[in-house]
Structure 1
Amino acid sequence: MKHVILATVSAMIMANAVAATTTCPPIQSITQTQMATGGYRYEASEPDGRLWKDESPLASASYLADSTFHNAQYDVETEAVICTYRGPMGNDASFSVTLKPVSGWNLTPAAGYWRGTYCEHPEVSKCEFSHQ
């Protein structure tokens, strides 16, 4: 009986580890830090401690405030999810944050806006994905 209970608990833990669901970070959770060489570094933390990050040497101080979520893309070769944020039409604001490695990446069918490895929608939640 103990073995059956232990096997059931182990299976539940493994299922939870395999079925993580994530989205790109909401713009409000991204921090912007000025780099000594110019431009800005962008970062956001995941609950599991992993870090979304990237640098934009040409970015100005207003980019974070001027941008909204634009798209997500999965890069199969590097096992990375890249999230891009852009300013409104006529505004140069644009930056990305990247999370890697993202092993076991898979689409979340309920979101419905993924086209292969690319998702574009103004709502971050519409580009949800699952991973291990």
Structure 2
Amino acid sequence: MNLNRALWLYAMLAVTGHAYAQTSSCPKPADIKQYRMDKGGYSYVADGPQDQKWTGENETSQELRMASLKFTAANYKAMNDERNSMPTVICDYEGAGYDAVRLTLKPVHQFSPATNTSWQDSYCKANDNLKCAFNHQ
């Protein structure tokens, strides 16, 4: 009886441990919203996983031509110093002229590159945001 209970408990812990793992990617450029900030510049927001938000801002930027943005790269920054207080995924986009946006998602716990992606260590360069998909909890 105790062996059955222990096996059942182990099985439930194994399933529960994997239940929250998910695969995400940087947002598609079309999903990024641009908002004018009160003191100048713009902020950028896109929906993220688990009710999180991808966010970015540039206090000196002009209004971007959002339709021209293309995904270019992603980067994972572990929590390793006072500048990086939470594990973070950073997504870069470039567009017409000098148009560019950088979005961050934090915290990103238990990061690992998704299979069949373009990640090289903690950096991913690709023209398709799905080629920089990542696993996390």
* TM-score between the two structures when normalised by the length of structure 1: 0.85
* Matched-pair identity in %: 30
How far apart are residue 66 of structure 1 and its match?
Answer: 2.4
Contact 1:53–1:99 (CA<8 Å) still a contact in 2? yes
Q: Which amino acid aligns with 1:51?
A: K
How far apart are residue 5 of structure 1 and its match?
Answer: 5.0
**Structure 1 SS opposite 2:23:** strand
How far apart are residue 45 of structure 1 and its match?
Answer: 1.5
Contact 2:43–2:56 (CA<8 Å) still a contact in 1? yes
| Number of the residue aligned with 2:103 | 97
Unaligned runs of 5+ in 1: none
Contact 1:74–1:82 (CA<8 Å) still a contact in 2? yes
Count matched residues: 128
| Number of the residue aligned with 1:50 | 52
| Number of the residue aligned with 1:124 | 129
**Structure 1 SS opposite 2:67:** helix
Q: Which runs of structure 2 are paired with 1:1-132 in the superposition (5 Å)?
A: 5=8, 7-17=10-20, 19-76=21-78, 77=80, 78=84, 79-88=87-96, 91-111=97-117, 113-132=118-137
Unaligned runs of 5+ in 2: none
Distance 2:17 2:72 in 1: 33
How far apart are residue 71 of structure 1 and its match?
Answer: 0.6
Task: Note the aligned Cα RMSD (angstroms).
Answer: 1.8
- Residues 102 and 47 (structure 1), Cα distance of their counterparts in 2 relative to 1, 3 Å cut: closer
How far apart are residue 31 of structure 1 and its match?
Answer: 1.0
**Structure 1 SS opposite 2:51:** coil
Larger radius of gyration: 2
